[in-house]
Structure 1
Amino acid sequence: MAIEIERKYLVSNDKFKSLSHKATRITQGYLNSDKARTVRVRVMGEQGFLTIKGLSNQAGLSRFEWEKEISVSEAQELLKLCEPGVIDKTRYLVEYQHQVFEVDEFYGDNQGLIVAELEIATEQQTVSKPDWLGDEVTGDNRYYNSTLMKTPYTQWV
């Protein structure tokens, strides 16, 4: 069991793509999307995952996270049981000044949304920001995947 601490940013342009060292397609759904406890099922490339996340702290920076790798076939079966709404995205890994940003480009009902996340060691850790990084949206629950499946980006922009 671990505490996940991360900052989340909008992405202002697609310059990150040429700097990426890996891109993986992700499909995910939620067995439970209650903000106090989300249960996510994910197919990420050739891997499956079951993840449980707790309620974010007041600043939206940290929360409990437990994840277990499962087979892709198990994940695909569990996706059939998920709440309505599927998240479809490509995750790019981009290294910048000894930090690795996970940049998610969304498709479908969330087309046009690109968000970068950076896991950090402490809430006080300083973040070096590349020029393709836009406004910080850490703690803005509209950008949580569990919210985007219920209220997609294309419905509120």
Structure 2
Amino acid sequence: MVEIERKFLVNSDSYKKEAKIKTRIVQGFLNTHPERTVRIRIKGEQGFITVKGKGNDTGVSRYEWEKEITILEAEELLKIAEPGSIDKFRYEVLVGNHVFEVDEFFGDNKGLVIAEVELSSEEETFEKPKWLGKEVSGITKYYNSQLSKCPFKEWV
């Protein structure tokens, strides 16, 4: 259950025209310890609980366990989450053989847009769309768990 994922900033909104799916996501965290995070997420009409471990040296690979829960369970767990939450739209864009998940943030993180691509190995190559900007894999301030505590609006 290792997730291999690279993250990038996005330099234009042209990904929106290419997206096949757009879903609203609201999430909070029960635990944001550097060694592990526990996330509660409502994605569209589904609820999830996710545990993520600490990333490796490159920040590209880390342990991830996720289980679907009911919307009611997710709503109840969000009530006891740590302060700060994430509100975003996720666009799914097929580029070559990979699906990029592009997150457009709102609320305290408005103005931030991040694209992620999951890979089967850290060395796997993938086609990079023109709207893909600087890589931010492994930079912890771009993790959702950190954006909930120190949002984008406070960076500028």
Quickly name the TM-score band, shorter chain normalised.
over 0.9
Aligned residue for 2:35? 36
* Matched AA of 1:11: V
* Matched AA of 1:137: V
The structure 1 segments of at least 4 consecutive aligned residues displaced by more than 6 Å after TM superposition are none
Aligned residue for 2:144? 145
CA distance in 1, matches of 2:65, 2:138: 20
Residue 126 of structure 1 and its aligned partner are, at CA, apart by 1.1
CA distance in 2, matches of 1:67, 1:98: 24
Unpaired runs of 5+ residues, structure 1, are none
TM-score between the two structures when normalised by the length of structure 2: 0.99
CA distance in 2, matches of 1:61, 1:127: 15
Aligned residue for 1:51? 50
Aligned residue for 1:72? 71
What number of residue pairs does the alignment pair up? 156
Instruction: After superposition, give the CA deviation of every residue in 1:24-50 in whole Å (9 maximum; x if it has no partner).
Output: 000000000012110000000000000
Residue 144 of structure 1 and its aligned partner are, at CA, apart by 0.1
Asked whether the equivalents of residues 97 and 126 of structure 2 are also in contact (C-alpha less than 8 Å), the reply is no
Local SS of the residue matching 1:33: strand
CA distance in 1, matches of 2:22, 2:34: 28
Unpaired runs of 5+ residues, structure 2, are none
Aligned residue for 2:111? 112
Q: Does 1:19 align with 2:22?
A: no
* Matched AA of 1:47: Q
CA distance in 2, matches of 1:97, 1:3: 23
